[in-house]
């Protein structure tokens, strides 16, 4: 299958694999337009839930930052990997029994110019690249200047091997995985999607947080659970206000449940 990878990278010199890079942001979008006009499925760094029906083509855009202390260029390959647990073994797309594959998009063209979609920081643009076939060795590296951001966009879909669970995605080759913001996607049975998932815009919350998490919802919230990035339950409550003073600074995932048995998962940052 021809694969399509939309990336924003600029090749600028020597490939430096040891420089420090992290994934700083992500956003899911629909495959309904080109690199600038396609609509977004959710807010930045917001997990989404989609039907596991084998037909859900989605696009994932990630932002990468070079923060290397030695101020070196950072080299990396434009591929993403996924896992079903933040502590589990990661897998590449298009491998044998992969749960996700790269797919073509009629809205994107290999080689087209791309633009910055996240923020206004120092940025390196590039174009569209066709992803390598499964199992091939990438001999060409890409370089990102120190204190500079870049963005990559992937067109993917679940395969018949995908299961109803939460997946986490990141760029392969990150030197700072713990400090990276991993993209989160949950697959559910199509027959239960509309019944069990809170609609976007039906709730809101403060983020980042300090000592209190405040949630506003059109539906009565009956349970709030906070997990750390390792999947461990840290806090639990049953109201729209949760005392988070005991949490260390870092990234957490919050699951809320309502009286009418609907759920939502979102990420927060404790400062």
Q: Answer yes or no: do 176 and 233 share one domain.
A: no
The pLDDT value given to residue 144: 87
CATH code, domain with 262: 2.60.40.1220
Q: Answer yes or no: do 168 and 238 share one domain.
A: no
Kindly tell me the burial class for residue 226, based on how many C-beta atoms sit within 10 Å of its own C-beta (0-12, 13-18, 19 or more). Answer: buried
The pLDDT value given to residue 27: 92
Closest CA to 124 of 73, 172, 174: 73
Look at residues 193, 214, 247 and tell me which one is the last residue of a structural domain: 193
Look at residues 161, 193, 225 and tell me which one is the last residue of a structural domain: 193
Q: Answer yes or no: do 93 and 123 share one domain.
A: yes
Q: Answer yes or no: do 169 and 248 share one domain.
A: no
Q: Answer yes or no: do 117 and 225 share one domain.
A: no
**193 in helix, strand or coil?**
helix
Q: Determine the straight-line distance between the first and last CA of the chain, rounded to whole angstroms.
A: 44
Q: By residue range, what is the domain housing residue 209?
A: 198-270
Q: What is the pLDDT along the chain (271 residues), one digit of tens a residue?
A: 444 444 443 333 334 445 789 999 999 999 989 888 999 988 888 888 888 887 788 999 999 999 988 889 988 777 889 998 776 688 988 767 889 988 888 888 765 667 899 988 899 865 444 454 444 444 445 788 999 998 888 889 999 889 888 899 998 888 888 888 899 998 887 765 555 666 667 788 888 899 999 988 888 888 898 887 656 778 888 888 999 999 998 888 888 888 777 777 788 889 8
Q: Answer yes or no: do 160 and 45 share one domain.
A: yes
Closest CA to 174 of 24, 3, 12: 24
Q: Answer yes or no: do 51 and 150 share one domain.
A: yes
Look at residues 193, 211, 229 and tell me which one is the last residue of a structural domain: 193
Q: Answer yes or no: do 184 and 228 share one domain.
A: no
**Count of domains for the chain:** 2
Q: Answer yes or no: do 74 and 172 share one domain.
A: yes
């Amino acid at each position: 299958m021809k694969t399509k990878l939309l990336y924003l990278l600029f090749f600028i010199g020597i490939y430096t694999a040891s420089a420090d890079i992290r994934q700083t942001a992500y956003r899911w979008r629909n495959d309904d337009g080109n690199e600038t006009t396609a609509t977004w499925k959710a807010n930045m760094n917001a997990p989404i839930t989609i039907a596991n029906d084998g037909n859900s083509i989605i696009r994932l855009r990630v932002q990468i930052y070079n923060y290397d202390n030695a101020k070196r260029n950072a080299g990396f390959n434009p591929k993403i990997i996924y896992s079903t647990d933040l502590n589990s073994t990661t897998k590449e797309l298009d491998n044998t029994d992969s749960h996700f594959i790269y797919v073509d998009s009629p809205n994107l063209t290999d080689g087209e110019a791309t633009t910055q979609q996240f923020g206004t920081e120092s940025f390196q643009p590039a174009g569209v690249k066709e992803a390598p076939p499964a199992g091939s060795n990438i001999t060409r590296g890409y370089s990102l200047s120190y204190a500079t951001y870049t963005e990559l966009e992937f067109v993917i879909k679940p395969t018949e091997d995908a299961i109803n669970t939460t997946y986490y995605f990141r760029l392969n080759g990150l030197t700072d995985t713990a400090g990276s913001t991993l993209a989160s996607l949950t697959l559910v049975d199509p027959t239960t999607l509309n019944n069990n998932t809170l609609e976007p815009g039906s709730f809101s919350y403060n983020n980042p947080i300090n000592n209190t998490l405040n949630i506003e919802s059109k539906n009565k919230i009956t349970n709030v659970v906070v997990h750390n990035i390792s999947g461990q339950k840290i806090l639990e409550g049953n109201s729209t206000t949760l005392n988070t003073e005991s949490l260390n600074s870092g990234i957490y995932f919050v699951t809320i449940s309502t009286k009418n048995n609907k759920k939502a998962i979102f990420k927060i940052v404790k400062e």
